[in-house]
């Protein structure tokens, strides 16, 4: 073996040994640290969905299972740790601090996705979407899971009051919109961000909705935030901010005094960047008339 080859091999071995030593040192240092708790994990076995669904749950500061205090619940679609849970919990924790006090201390229930396109969409008539996303069209079952299994489970196992908020963005915003239009009393606050109303060529904007002049009879507050998002990935041309305006006008046309709407156009944000600013605005502006004890 040539001297240059021996020198090269020796150099490689030295780098490997240094890397192993560094890794061991980091592991030893890491062992001294304590994990900062952000929440707890839970799960619900669903007969509606025929699967077990994982939940990430944030409990507010001071929460005790033994006291009499009860808290509003924020249901977060896209609630995985690698999805929106951490971001939303941070904003909730900040906005519930005594010196901020924009929203009351709240429980956050993050629903971890299994098949997002299945659960967030209703059936589509668009052939190319059926071929591209063959599992889509399960929103009716997922809404039934939320209504008949998830909400009762949270009410039974956690100290909740009757205030329920849902947060959904993009396809999750489409699902939140579907709930709002079909079963509005499932929640009394809706935070809908950049909803994918273009799905099935925007058919949700043409469908009959449950919101009428006389129903629901309870107060519902809606925040809808949308950025400068442009054309949607649909067969027929849809501009997402235009669709959002159409939705707001459709709800306003019902002339229900119990339905309170805030439409927020954020032209400096786009589909990728809108969530933090929209959530902050939602927490600042959601009306207090929807508070229930």
Nearest to 59 by CA among 125, 7, 126, 105: 105
Rounded to an integer, the average pLDDT of 274-281 is 94
Residues 120, 10 within the same domain: no
Locus of tokens 């929106």: 84
Q: Cα-flanking dihedrals φ and ψ of residue 231, to 5°?
A: -65, 140
- Between CA 190 and CA 261 the distance in angstroms is 10
Let me know the angle formed at the C-alpha of 234 by 233 and 237, rounded to the nearest 5 degrees: 105
Residues 24, 46 within the same domain: no
Residues 16, 64 within the same domain: no
Interacting residues of 262 by C-beta distance below 8 A, sequence separation 6+: 221, 222, 223, 224, 282, 285, 286, 287
Residues 107, 11 within the same domain: no
Q: Would you state the structure tokens that stand for residue 71, as one six-digit string?
A: 């808290």
From residue 274, alpha-carbon distances to 62, 81, 170, 239 in Å are 31, 19, 10, 16
Residues 14, 135 within the same domain: no
What is the number of other CB atoms lying within 10 angstroms of the CB of residue 154? 19
What b/e readout covers 100-110, taking b as 16+ CB neighbours within 10 angstroms? eebbebbbbbb
CATH code of the domain in which 200 resides:
3.40.50.1820
pTM value? 0.87
Residues 20, 164 within the same domain: no
Q: How many domains does the chain have?
A: 2
Average pLDDT, rounded, for the chain: 87
Residues 238, 213 within the same domain: yes
pLDDT in tens, 162-193: 999 999 999 999 999 999 999 999 999 999 99
Residues 164, 21 within the same domain: no
Residues 213, 172 within the same domain: yes
Do 161 and 141 touch, CB atoms closer than 8 A? no
The total number of residues written for the chain in this structure: 293
pLDDT in tens, 242-253: 899 999 999 999
Residues 155, 18 within the same domain: no
Residues 82, 181 within the same domain: yes
Residues 156, 23 within the same domain: no
Write out the residue range of the structural domain in which residue 3 sits. 1-33
């Amino acid at each position: 073996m040539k001297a240059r080859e021996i020198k090269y091999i020796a150099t490689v071995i030295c780098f490997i040994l240094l890397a192993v030593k560094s890794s061991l040192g980091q592991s030893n240092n890491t062992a001294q640290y304590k994990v900062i708790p952000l929440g707890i994990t839970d799960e619900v076995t669903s007969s509606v969905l025929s699967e077990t669904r994982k939940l990430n749950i944030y409990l507010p500061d001071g929460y005790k299972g033994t006291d009499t205090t009860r808290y509003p619940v924020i249901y977060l679609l896209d609630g995985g740790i690698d999805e929106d849970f951490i971001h939303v919990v941070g904003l909730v924790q900040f906005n519930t601090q005594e010196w901020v006090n924009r929203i009351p201390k709240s429980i956050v229930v993050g629903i971890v996705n299994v098949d997002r396109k299945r659960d967030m969409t209703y059936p589509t008539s668009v052939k190319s979407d059926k071929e591209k996303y063959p599992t889509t069209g399960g929103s009716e079952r997922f809404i039934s899971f939320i209504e008949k299994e998830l909400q009762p489970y949270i009410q039974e196992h956690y100290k909740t009051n009757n205030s329920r908020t849902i947060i959904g963005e993009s396809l999750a915003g489409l699902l939140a919109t579907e709930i709002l239009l079909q079963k509005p009393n499932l929640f009394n606050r809706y935070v809908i961000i950049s909803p994918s109303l273009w799905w099935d060529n925007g058919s949700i904007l043409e469908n009959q909705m449950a919101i009428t002049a006389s129903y629901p009879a309870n107060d519902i507050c809606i925040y809808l935030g949308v950025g400068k998002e442009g054309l949607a990935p649909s067969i027929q041309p849809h501009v997402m901010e235009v669709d959002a305006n159409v939705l707001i006008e459709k709800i306003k046309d019902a002339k229900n005094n119990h339905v309170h709407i805030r439409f927020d156009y954020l032209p400096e944000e786009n589909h990728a960047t809108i969530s933090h600013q929209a959530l902050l605005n939602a927490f600042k502006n959601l009306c207090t008339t929807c508070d229930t004890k």
